[in-house]
């Protein structure tokens, strides 16, 4: 037997999640783990509606709505937050029945997308994806290219000056998003 996944439109953020066939082995169903990571200053409550919808609408899904980086813990840097997310995912997987998770997807909102991206690279280097198939990586409003602006216009120059003090309002994470942690000549 096989069950086809659904496409869901989460109307607030307008993105799609597509889930492919879930493999069914006799009475044992391997599950799809969906890891959700909120953004700066956030909590799992910020993404609870999304987590609920995934659980209710997608058969054979399991959701890990991350609590590893809540409130001021998002200040510690993208690498530190990504490492915390890895530890939370590994701990979650350790609590699951062996071979019960067949796929893993990540959804990150804002800075949570950067934390997920870092975590995915770490999980890959730790060979987690040798046994669990990575399926989707979805980010919403994530500053993949940083938060600096072109210095050719006055607004961009003012913004860039304010991001020089970003560590005061966002810690090391904001400093990294402002691309101020680069130590090269440029």
The Cβ-side half-sphere exposure at 148, using a 13 Å CA radius, reads: 16
The residue from 66, 110, 166, 173 that is catalytic is 110
Residue 147 CA to residue 108 CA, distance in Å, equals: 17
Residue 13 CA to residue 33 CA, distance in Å, equals: 21
Report whether 59 contacts 85 (CB < 8 A): no
Q: What are phi and psi of 149, to 5 degrees?
A: -120, 165
**Is the dihedral angle over the CA atoms 122, 63, 139, 7 positive or is it negative?**
positive
Active site residue 18: no
Report, as residue numbers or ranges, the catalytic residues: 110
């Amino acid at each position: 037997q096989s069950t086809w996944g659904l496409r869901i439109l989460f109307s607030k953020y307008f993105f799609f999640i597509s889930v492919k066939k879930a493999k069914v082995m006799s009475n044992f169903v391997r599950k799809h783990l969906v890891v959700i990571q909120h953004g700066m200053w956030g909590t799992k409550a910020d993404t609870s509606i999304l987590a609920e919808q995934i659980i209710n609408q997608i058969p054979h899904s399991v959701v890990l709505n991350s609590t590893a980086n809540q409130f001021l813990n998002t200040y510690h840097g993208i690498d530190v937050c990504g490492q915390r997310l890895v530890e939370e995912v590994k701990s979650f997987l350790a609590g699951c029945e062996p071979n019960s998770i067949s796929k893993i997807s990540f959804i990150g909102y804002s800075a949570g997308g950067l934390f997920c991206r870092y975590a995915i690279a770490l999980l890959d280097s730790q060979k987690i994806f040798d046994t669990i198939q990575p399926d989707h990586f979805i980010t919403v409003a994530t500053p993949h290219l940083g938060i600096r602006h072109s210095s050719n216009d006055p607004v961009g120059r003012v913004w860039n000056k304010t991001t020089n003090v970003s560590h005061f309002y966002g810690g090391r994470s904001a400093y990294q998003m402002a691309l101020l942690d680069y130590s090269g000549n440029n």
